[in-house]
Amino acid sequence: MNPSPIAGFWTLFQKEWLRFWKVSVQTILAPVLTALLFLVVFAHSLRGHVEVFPGVDYAAFLVPGLAMMSVLQNAFANSASSLMQSKMTGNIIFVLLPPFSHQEFFTAYLLAAVARGLIVGAGVFAATVWFVDLRFGHPLWALVFAAAGSGVMGALGIIAGIHSDKVDELAAFQNFIILPLTFLSGVFYSIQSLPPFWQAASHLNPIFYMVDGFRYGFFGVSDVSPWLSLAIVAASFLGLSFLTLWLLRTGYKLRS
């Protein structure tokens, strides 16, 4: 039997897919429930008090933000936790011994992260769409930002998983970098409502452009041009991808 040129990559992707699918209560259902709770609490307490976009109910405004936050956090968690757990248990050896190229290794982990992010995002919509009047003005924009955003976070997750030697390090990465950046990215508000300093600071946060561009796909309204957001998200993706590929090529923290 002759080896197939893409079978290795495809098998690694399947393994990564099955890894999160087998524990879908924890990897898919739990984040959907969390997003639903956010919606119930925030929408109920702020209904009638806040109108971020003209004519858009706050709960409707919130849903795309919550969905994108879930997409991004879960894409990151998928690649980061998979690599981290494999390193800690030692079974990383099973993916280091085969003849994967750096690109195959990267793409398989990345696509699995994107897949989980998108599935969780779809789950959040499926759970929340019944409670709000949601428009889908530019669905292609929404899809592009969901895919590109989860790609960025999937790549960042690979870097975090490779770099972290202990659970604490990964938790610090998640708690002190990913969580603040997602919470301060305009998930719950428009940055137009912030003081000038924080508006300027928000423009330095790449996740802001992911959320803003994604929301444009629904309401056709955004804080910055979706083209600018797309350019920044694409640049972030390319930069992180090159960094990840370089880490894999040098064997950083994977091959001694």
Q: Which of 27/229 has CB closer to another protein?
A: 27
Q: Is 26 in the site for another protein (CB under 8 A)?
A: no
- The region of 39-47, 97-105, 120-128, 227-235 touching another protein under the rule CB under 8 A is 97-105
Question: Site for another protein (CB under 8 A): which residue of 48, 54, 90, 195?
Answer: 90
Rg of the chain over all Cα atoms, to the nearest angstrom: 19
The residue among 17 and 131 lying less far from another protein, judged by its C-beta, is 17
Q: What is the dihedral of CA 182, 187, 188, 193, to 10 degrees?
A: 100
Query: CB of 142 within 8 A of CB of 136?
Result: yes
Q: How many CB atoms lie under 10 A from the CB of residue 249?
A: 13
Question: Binding to another protein by residue 139, rule CB under 8 A?
Answer: no
The two structure tokens encoding residue 18: 């099955």
Instruction: Tell whether residue 8 is a contact of another protein (CB under 8 A).
Output: yes
Q: Are 149 and 72 in contact (CB under 8 A)?
A: yes
Query: DSSP secondary structure string, 109-147?
Result: HHHHHHHHHHHHHHHHHHHHTTTS----S-HHHHHHHHH
Q: Which stretch binds another protein (CB under 8 A): 1-9, 110-118, 180-188, 203-211?
A: 1-9
Cα–Cα distances (Å) from 220 to 113, 206, 253, in that order, read 28, 20, 44
Instruction: Tell me the site size for another protein, rule CB under 8 A.
Output: 32
CB atoms within 10 A of CB 231: 12
Question: Shortest gap between Cβ of 229 and another protein (angstroms)?
Answer: 36
Between 14 and 175, CB nearer to another protein: 14
Least CB distance to another protein at residue 124 (A) = 25
Nearest approach in angstroms of CB 96 to another protein is 6
Q: Which positions touch another protein (CB under 8 A)?
A: 1-5, 7-8, 10-12, 14-15, 18-19, 22-23, 86, 89-91, 93-101, 251, 255-256
